[in-house]
Amino acid sequence: MKRRIIGERGLKVSPQDRQISNVLYTMDEALEAFIRAKTAEGVRKGTLTGYHDIFRYFRQWLDEEITNINDITADTIRNYINYLRTERTPYAEDPQRKRTGKGLSVHTINIRIRGLCTLFRFLYNDGIISYNPMQNISQVRDDAHEEVPGLPDKQIDAILASYVDRQFAQWRDKTLIILLLDTGLRIGEALSLTADQVNFKELSITVPSQIAKKRKSREIPISREVAKRLRQLLDETQQYFGEGCKLFMNAYGEDLTDDAFRRRLNRLKRKLNISKLHPHMFRHTFARNYVLNGGDIFTLQRILDHADIQTTRKYVQMDNEHIREQHNKFSPLRNIIKRNGIRV
């Protein structure tokens, strides 16, 4: 008979001190207990949705005969990870993004591993399971690879030139991209903007703590040109949808979502024959260009809302063309040649 071990949350309990119950939890009951606890802790809705999705993907793969959470073993988890690495089709649920190859990226697999680790650690600490199958599971290793790259200048020009300003949706998307390139906002932060968050006089945007990833309010400067476009966009959306609307709305008066914007970028990517295009690339492009234009990395860290300067450094990815440009501009050899009158 499988038994439930109850102990103080977060504390190791010796086998002699554990209270044992005959209660068994189904998969759904265990997940519900986990979600209730995380909701009580104040975890945001988006994070809870992420946990739901991670567990849903896991459930879809599991054998239908496995119904109780205690039936999950470390071997079950390892088999699932191998499935994700070699058999799972990326974006299988999204026809527009579905890929022909097999195997998810290491980054995606590790996100799912971290989610399952959080789930099963909670279940074990709360006594819902007597054994934590994730205890000895490590994240998948990968060869060193470049972080999300920024967009080359030619691609940025092509993207902006592709929009038809006479059409509201395209003019709105272009305004959104220009905003991202000017501020480095996360796509969720940009799409949540309301009129009271934009200070058109002081040329700044406030990201409230309820939206910010670090739960700390911050103010970001914006260029005068961007403020002008946002003012025009706000006037038009308020005219059609009322004063309570957000800046970025779809043609039906609904909030523009990040998924909808990603789908629109995917269509644009195919149209312009660009290998990769998604919202976060504009944030990385801003970070790279900010430094190339003379901005200091510590100010950039504040703007991007990074807790660690090392994270900010990873965002500043420069391709060979930018490296050559910076070398030609700042090489100390030129001053040496000038001082010594060396002819070349």
**Residues 84 and 104 sit within 8 Å (Cβ to Cβ):** yes
Q: Is 213 a catalytic residue?
A: yes
Cα 107 to chain centroid distance, Å, stands at 11
Backbone angles phi, psi at 319, to 5 degrees: -85, 175
Least confident span in 121-125, 140-144, 217-221? 140-144
The catalytically annotated residue of 52, 85, 121, 213 is: 213
**Residues 257 and 191 sit within 8 Å (Cβ to Cβ):** yes
pLDDT at 30: 93
Residue with the two structure tokens 């849903």: 56
Convert the pLDDT of each residue in 49-90 to its tens digit: 999 999 999 999 998 778 899 999 999 999 999 999 998 877
pLDDT at 91: 65
171 — pLDDT class (breaks 50, 70, 90):
very high
Domains in the chain, CATH or no CATH each: 4-125 (no CATH), 153-281 (1.10.443.10)
Strand, coil or helix: 18 = coil
pLDDT greater than 50 at residue 7: no
CA distance 4 to 22: 6
Q: Is 186 a catalytic residue?
A: yes
Q: Is 3 a catalytic residue?
A: no
**Residues 123 and 292 sit within 8 Å (Cβ to Cβ):** no
Mean pLDDT of the chain: 84
Q: Is 280 a catalytic residue?
A: yes
Beta bridge partners of 19: 6
Q: Is 57 a catalytic residue?
A: no
Residue range 245-268: mean pLDDT, rounded: 93
Q: Which residues contact 344 (CB under 8 A, 6 or more apart)?
A: 337
DSSP letter string, 233-264: HHHHHHHHH-TTSBSSB-TTSSBPPHHHHHHH
